[in-house]
Amino acid sequence: MSLVRKIGRKIGIITLGCDKNTVDNEYLGGLLEDSGFEVVPVEDFDGSEEFDAIVINTCGFILDAKKQSAEVIAKIADIKKSTGNPRKFVVVGCLAQRYAKDILKEIPEIDAIFGVGQVENIAKFLDGEIDSTDRIVQISPTPIVKVDRYIRRRRLLSGCYSYLKIADGCSHKCAFCAIPRMKGKYTSVPLDILLKEAEDLLSNGVKEINLIAQDITRYGRDLNKGYGLAELIKELVNLKGDFWIRCLYCLPSGITKKILNVVANEEKVVHYLDMPIQHTDYKVLKLMNRPRADLDIHKFIREIREFIPDIVLRSTIIVGFPGETFASFKRLLKDLEHLKFERLGAFIFSPEEGTPAERLSKKVSSLIAERRLQILMETQSAISYEYGKSRVGRVNKVLVEKFVPERQCWIGRSYAEAPDVDGVIWVNSTVPLQVGNFYNVNIKKAETYDLIGDAVI
């Protein structure tokens, strides 16, 4: 053990990128608090608040995410250089895993850099147990993100919802994705650890648990313990309390009747599935090397809707993938008009370093890709608006999350709105509502993505 002097006790934590980074930072926050540190979540560091150290968890998924991470790192480094605040600056996560040497070469103000899956070593470094002579403290050449013991989480989100990261890494081989290179193979979190985490979240006021992983349908396969996603959900719904469970990031290839049965029949599981399809054109899907590229998506979704009539489906689309012709894009639009996903996100293909897609020919120009994205989202906005109008006059169970003084009303979500990525319900009420409680709300008006309603008191 190094005899290096301990860093001071006030630590700022910045989270960039996906919800899995949020959970990792909550693990880190818990470890630090248990060691006597003051942990402060930071959204936009401007130097006005002094910190003994700032830890930034970065994202390296697509170009825009990498740019955001690089900009925030550079901003903090400039403030540190000119003011000495923070005293120590630590960069961790996916971008650090891929580009540690380049980052340190460009930004010498960084005191230590860690790759993925190093939460406990980051805490030890901040507590003075690990030295950082060369500043690259932990960058594994074979990355893996593994949780094999219970770690108390220090909640960084202020809302009534939280994320339960049931696995990390990915064993799929999608041509466009660098996540397996950054995070390693798919690694599930043992069931007993997840149940303890969930109990803690619920005891701290959480009313919605969102299950996340690169693909939650693969949960448990690598553990060989005889349980999977369906068994995990059945254990979670037995926990005490009035709460929701939401299934995010379910690849269509892994959605089984067993999983659908649990979603359909367990009262605490909302009728909502996030299932990224990325495209509908078979040739494009083959180029993407997507699992079950030959899946008849129309038949598949029709069967889901027949099985769970009020299901809300969210999906994700990539436009501008190499080989996406005008004809394949037109086919995609026609398919989306037929499939009518209630929720849909889309982004332009980003050629990630070291991925098979980076080497594909038949590139789509950025100008064409941007235009296709605009057309796709215009198509989707009409679908979303029609779905919203169909809900007018209905009463929805809504989780109230915030009061907005400017509008003198509350913001909430029903089962049909996932946090951060979907719209919200604006709730008017003649009496004050309690944030964190469920209320019946009569929907009165639909906007493109949001709804407006009255609390039924």
Average pLDDT, consecutive stretches of 10 residues, N- to C-terminus, the chain (457 residues): 57 93 96 96 92 93 82 94 94 91 90 93 90 74 92 92 97 94 95 98 96 97 96 97 96 96 97 97 97 94 97 98 97 97 96 93 96 98 97 97 95 97 96 96 96 95
pLDDT at residue 457, as a whole number: 86
DSSP 3-state of 113: strand
- Would you list the domain boundaries of the chain? 10-138, 159-270, 276-383, 395-455
Fold classified for 276-383: Transcription Regulator spoIIAA (3.30.750)
Rounded Cα–Cα distance for residues 365 and 367 (Å) = 5
Task: Describe the crossing of helices 19-34 and 119-126 by its angle, rounded to 10 degrees.
Answer: 40
Q: Is it true that 10-138 and 395-455 share their CATH fold? A: no
pLDDT at residue 152, as a whole number: 96
pLDDT at residue 159, as a whole number: 83
pLDDT at residue 3, as a whole number: 35
| AA identity, residue 449 | Y
Distances (CA, A) of 174 to 18, 121, 425: 18, 31, 35
Q: What is the CATH number of domain 395-455?
A: 2.40.50.140
Distances (CA, A) of 378 to 209, 222, 300: 31, 41, 25
Architecture of domain 10-138: 3-Layer(aba) Sandwich (3.40)
Architecture of domain 159-270: 2-Layer Sandwich (3.30)
| pTM, two decimal places | 0.94
| AA identity, residue 214 | Q
Q: What stretches of 127-190 show up as alpha helix (H) in DSSP? A: 179-183
Q: Are 111 and 76 in contact (CB under 8 A)?
A: no
Torsion of Cα atoms, 296 then 297 then 302 then 308, to 10°: 120
Strands ordered across the beta sheet of 10-15:
38-41, 10-15, 53-58, 88-93, 112-114, 136-138
